[in-house]
Amino acid sequence: MFDDAVLKCFLENQLQLYPEPVAETLEEADAFLEDCMAVVVDSVREVWEYFDESGIDMEGADEEAILEADEVFEVGDGRYLILEM
């Protein structure tokens, strides 16, 4: 379901959200992200829309604050991985 770029991004950055690694291989990362109902969006605007649709209070937040949320991972190619919390 998730491509290698997304899986590698999660493996390299998972400690921004979890106190210890939850996956060590691409396969483990894929299974974990599926279990978490993680989503990949194509732009900052879509991150904002996702948060809005999820009912997350973003009042007073700017783009930088949204992207610094622990559950948002920048894939590096313009896409963002968002984990359900």
Confidence of residue 85 (pLDDT cuts 50, 70, 90): low
What pTM value is reported for the model?
A: 0.91
The amino acid present at 58, given as its one-letter code, is M
**Could you tell me the sign of the dihedral formed by the alpha carbons of 56, 68, 1, 45, in that order?**
positive
Task: Look at residue 63 and tell me whether its pLDDT is greater than 90.
Answer: no
Provide the pLDDT for residue 16: 96
End-to-end CA distance of the chain: 19
- Assign 82 to helix, strand or coil: strand
Task: Look at residue 58 and tell me whether its pLDDT is greater than 90.
Answer: no
Q: What confidence tens digit (pLDDT) does each residue in 3-49 have? A: 999 999 999 999 999 999 999 999 999 999 999 999 999 999 999 99
Provide the pLDDT for residue 72: 96
